[in-house]
Amino acid sequence: MFMFAPISYGKPVCLIGGLCVSHAKKYIIALHFTTNHSEINFKYPINSDSRKEFIQKKEGYLDTQRSFFTNANEHSKSIVFASYQIPLLLASKNKPFTDAEEIIKAALNISARILMTKAAKKI
């Protein structure tokens, strides 16, 4: 009715302007909608097909934004995991950290892991 979508941390997001309101209370959401987006009810009447299409399109944009940050976070996690592989390999072989041969082997394994995750996402 007021074109808001819930977010995982509890604050609703306006689908039209993309702003978060302070609390998920009906009064606050209604106040935001009527003061900032009063023309939407004329453009897209309540319970009309055009309004449903508009809401679906805006929810799609919001999902795209969310997935962008989620994918970046997963990429960062895989890089951190891969960076721990070098010390783990050296510690398991009881080698000092200056052993270049072992570091090169680990670096090749790390780069292969990163490239495999990128290739898997493209497929």
Tell me the Ramachandran region of residue 60: left when phi exceeds 0, alpha when psi lies from -120 to 50, beta otherwise: alpha
Residue 120 has pLDDT above 60, yes or no: no
Place of tokens 């510690």: 91
The confidence band for 91, taking pLDDT boundaries of 50, 70 and 90, is confident
pLDDT tens profile 33-58: 787 777 777 787 778 788 788 778 88
The first and second tokens of residue 31, run together, are 């106040």
Whether residue 37 contacts residue 45, with contact meaning beta carbons closer than 8 Å, is answered with no
Q: Which residue has the higher pLDDT, 111 or 74?
A: 111
